[in-house]
Structure 1
């Protein structure tokens, strides 16, 4: 299962059925789960853990030292869940001791060609990062997020669950849950209604989220005033609470 031209450090832990392609290099402190396939010319450095059924395509660099000039060789980590697809030329860097010390990627994510995930990022489950998406260090991406091609996300930004960023967007502020944004700099263009419908959100939830979006974005209120008005509602579905929580959690200001 391991091509004779591949170099696998004896200290690496690979499940018995892991495939490793020609000329790939796997360093020490690397763990790769069962059913995974590592293509040709891939470099994986540790400490790094890849979950089960991971696919890594040619020329990807996984678990390399970060590009932070403060990094001084500390044993930081990269951890990934199961069923992720890492396409050609993707770069995934480990964390820094100045933050969490670990870069974390969940399960069932698709990272398309030449995407970059910087140090200390957190990516949830079921996300798509299209070609050449770039995440600066310390970025947090929620579940079911779609980032279009060439999206660049400034360090420390948070992108809420089920959000969608159009191709070429420059994201410098936090993106609340469920939003659809686009532009340079990115601006809000409504809710990601198509994505929410595809994922089975109820009509009640969609109507409530649409009303909440209008209160925050269309009535000229400050964020504090909008949150107070939403909080005063007698009843609301859990999806609105999630939307409100993403607004409250913002530290960089929200994308307007």
Structure 2
């Protein structure tokens, strides 16, 4: 399914955080949201999975306004992996993943064979099937991240909304997760801090700065040295990855004078 945001405005505590955002993820496409801390990436994604309501504008799923759908119906189409991971669930790994099947179940109905199959498939995709019986509370941060992604996959959504999905993952599992996103062929909106990961996995990038989209397009067109200096306040060169041919950003860690004075993303900034 295609998902589009039209002139989206979101306010928190009376303060506008996202203003006039237009962006799209076409069917089967991975669209990345990148930008400094505080640029509005998480707020925008929370609006897409209906944790927040927009002050103005629309989120459209194949042309249908999400507000016209019942929560259970929208949950059958959109699954999310938010930054807020929740507490120490007193559930097993399999039980946590099975929560992704709730939008398909009638009240008090028993788990179906399809539910069990979807739960097992989600765990298998993230390499956690052998841990199905373990208590979720005893997992490492990276293992929890993979289980919560399995929960989203078990939901069998048309759209995945992922907020920093590689957090807490070691390098191997980061690569495996990004590869999984490519082979899933599910329409995906994903916020990523790692610009090289975004350049590798995303078909399209939307760059946010101060709550607005300042650039959109293929990673090769968007991630220029000029944009990196202006938006992120860093000096960098963009070269070709020797293994994949994707854009590869080489940051200058030795010349802090190359940073733009007063650029966003300074230490201490808080993600919204």
TM-score computed with the length of structure 2 as normaliser: 0.24
Larger relative contact order (CA 8 Å, sep ≥ 6) = 2
Report which of the two has the higher share of helix. 2
TM-score, structure 1 as length reference: 0.25
